[in-house]
Amino acid sequence: MRLNGLLLSVLLLALPASATEDLLQFESAEQQQLYRQLTAELRCPKCQNQNIADSNAVVAVDMRNKTLELVRQGQSHDEVIDYMKQRYGDFVHYQPPVQLSTIWLWLLPLLAVLALGWTVFRRSDSSQTAVVGHADEQPDHSDLDAQLQAMIDEATAANRQQPKE
């Protein structure tokens, strides 16, 4: 618990590091929100896995400026993303498009879950049929108890019939 608190405070300390936004003027809070969202979603094509809000590479700065310009013109989220994709390709957006080449990103996890579910199902099914009669499930002991009781009775009866020598 204390460790969690410590981790959380360290994470909170790291927050201002990504909030290096210049003093930009927006017409509305919506535009500001859109600009924030876009710069977080767009990926810097020069860097290895940084969004353009996070990078100071020349191309990232240019993309931020272009984003700002387009947002100020009143373009929508999708319009700005398309504008960037036309120039820098699908790579530039962190959300990959559903295509023949990317369909596996969705299919593979689905297939894995299905295959796993199927295996588990098969397994529980076969263990039920194969292991019936063994002590796998809650076995019925009444039979054994009866047998044991019968043996005890037999033994005591035999004992009585054979008195001490």
CB of 93 to other proteins, least distance (A): 11
Q: Is 87 in the site for other proteins (CB under 8 A)?
A: yes
Q: Is 11 in the site for other proteins (CB under 8 A)?
A: no
Q: What are φ and ψ of residue 131, in 5° steps? A: -105, 10
Q: Is 77 in the site for other proteins (CB under 8 A)?
A: no
Is residue 48 helix, strand or coil? Answer: coil
Which of these ranges, 14-22, 61-69, 131-139, 147-155, lies near other proteins under the rule CB under 8 A?
A: 61-69
Q: Look at the block and give the residue holding tokens 């969004």.
A: 51
Q: Is 85 in the site for other proteins (CB under 8 A)?
A: yes
**Most distant CA pair in the chain: distance in Å?**
116
Residue count, binding to other proteins (CB under 8 A)? 18
Which of these ranges, 17-25, 84-92, 131-139, 145-153, lies near other proteins under the rule CB under 8 A?
A: 84-92
Host H or E run for residue 129: helix 104-130
- Binding letters toward other proteins, positions 40-59, x by CB under 8 A: -----xx-x--------xxx
Select from 61, 90, 74 the least CA-distant residue to 31: 74
Count, residues in the chain: 165
> Which residue, 77 or 87, has its beta carbon nearer to other proteins?
87
The packing angle between helices 58-72 and 77-88, to 10°, is: 140
Say how many CA atoms lie within 13 Å of 132 toward its Cβ. 5
Sites of contact with other proteins (CB under 8 A): 45-46, 48, 57-59, 61-63, 66, 85-91, 119
